[in-house]
Amino acid sequence: MKPFAIKEDIFWIGDVDYSSRDFHGYSRSPMGTTYNAYLIKDEKNVVFDSVKAEAADTMLCRLARSIEPQKVDYLVVNHVELDHSGALPRLVEACKPEKIFCSTMGLKSMQGHFDTSGWPVQAVKNGETISIGKRSITFIEARMLHWPDSMFSYIPEEKLLISNDAFGQNIATSERFFDEIDRDIMLHAMKEYYHNIVQPYAPQVLKVLEEVGKLGLDIEMLAPDHGLIYRRKEDVAFALDCYKNFALQPWKKKALIVYDTMWHSTEKMAEAIAEGLVAAGVPTRLMCMKANHHSAVMTELADCGALIVGSPTHNNGIMPAMADVLTYMKGLRPQNKLGAAFGSFGWSGESVKVLQEWLTAMGMEQPVPPVKCQFVPKHETFSQCYALGEALGAALTARCEKA
């Protein structure tokens, strides 16, 4: 397990997880993932972040092949979540560092995860700079991007920003640089990561981007803790632009129909609604919750300005998979979407009302009344569904033109 030089005397010493498809228990990672940690050799040798506990041996092996671990002077812990700190106790034991730097909020999270007695932990303030020889490190707080303790490390002499979780992507590859992989694949990976992990903190993203602008940080290399490294200025600009755009979530003329069904009545209604939307000029994607994970729904929703949700009534409520996706979605706080609801029922028919309540709770305006159908839909229901699609498509088009 060798280190990989990303610049002179700067090494990637992370772990590539080719087989994982489950990212932290809530999101799928269809392309695997990568945990990045970095080493800078200077008068003071510094390791930035670490990897999950299971990958400690891999990281320590890469480290030992670039430097004797005892010669590491400083550890920087940008974020204490276990994917970046699980291997920290092993790293501390191997390096016996002179100092361990973290944010002020990081002190608490470090104590909450590890027995830190005897660890030389030192909290740094936002904007604080330390010298490590030819180079220096400026710490930038990225509070709630995405944990209270999150921070970035900037090395001005190298124009290098180590951004921890921000700008990450879940992808496992033998390449280390963003420009070595097809741009469309990378953009998809960035979207999937942002909209499943970072999205609730959109205001903090905008604040940090503003801060980076205000500090006039010249960034030539952007090194996140997941996925590939942006090493060209144009790719760094692309990543910053993407994040601004992701955070602003502008209105988009595309619709997503998310539904579940037992006997396919609700599914047939979904198809008729889609036809109406398409007729109104709105590209539409259908996702049945039997065939899609909630994290794939969020990635798709990122490109949509309308969300139409459907469920049959099941035991006086909605289908469990719909409750799953709506619970997940609400927590991720999507913005700028119109909503609509539909569903089949047998007798009591509560599902549509429950779906409408979810849409309201997510702040989604519903300009078109819902469609409910008793048992199997017939011609009249299909007409109503088609009309719902057309009317919602027109409302979305108007909203996009106004924006």
Which residues belong to the active site?
Answer: 24, 79, 81, 83, 146, 165, 193, 226
**Under rule CB under 5 A, residue 390 binds Fe ion:** no
N-term to C-term CA, the chain? 51
- Contact partner at residue 265 from ligand FMN, Fe ion, none, CB < 5 to 8 Å by partner kind: ligand FMN
**Under rule CB under 5 A, residue 17 binds Fe ion:** no
User: Rounded CA gap, 362 and 326, in Å?
Assistant: 9
**Under rule CB under 6 A, residue 345 binds ligand FMN:** yes
3-class DSSP state for residue 116? coil
For the chain, count helices (H), then strands (E): 12, 21
Residue 279 Cβ vs ligand FMN, minimum distance, rounded to whole Å: 23
x/- string (CB under 5 A) for Fe ion, residues 76-95? Answer: -----x-x------------
What φ, ψ does residue 350 adopt, rounded to 5°?
A: -80, -20
User: Rounded CA gap, 397 and 333, in Å?
Assistant: 22
**Under rule CB under 6 A, residue 290 binds ligand FMN:** no
Residue 184 Cβ vs Fe ion, minimum distance, rounded to whole Å: 24
**Under rule CB under 5 A, residue 15 binds Fe ion:** no
Query: Which residue number, 83 or 192, has a Cβ lying nearer to Fe ion?
Result: 83
**Under rule CB under 6 A, residue 381 binds ligand FMN:** no
User: Rounded CA gap, 297 and 338, in Å?
Assistant: 16
Decide: 26 and 295 in contact? Cβ < 8 Å. Answer: yes
x/- string (CB under 5 A) for Fe ion, residues 339-368? Answer: ------------------------------
Query: Which residue number, 101 or 342, has a Cβ lying nearer to Fe ion?
Result: 101
Task: Work out which of 120, 156, 200, 349 binds ligand FMN, going by CB under 6 A.
Answer: 349
Query: Which residue number, 83 or 390, has a Cβ lying nearer to Fe ion?
Result: 83
3-class DSSP state for residue 159? coil
Residue 266 Cβ vs ligand FMN, minimum distance, rounded to whole Å: 3
Question: Among residues 361, 238, 245, 356, which one has the least CA distance to residue 303?
Answer: 245
Binding segment toward ligand FMN, per CB under 6 A, in 10-18, 100-108, 120-128, 338-346:
338-346
User: Rounded CA gap, 225 and 305, in Å?
Assistant: 31
Question: Among residues 217, 260, 258, which one has the least CA distance to residue 240?
Answer: 217
What φ, ψ does residue 176 adopt, rounded to 5°?
A: -115, -15
- The binding site for ligand FMN (CB under 6 A) comprises 261-266, 312-316, 344-349, 375
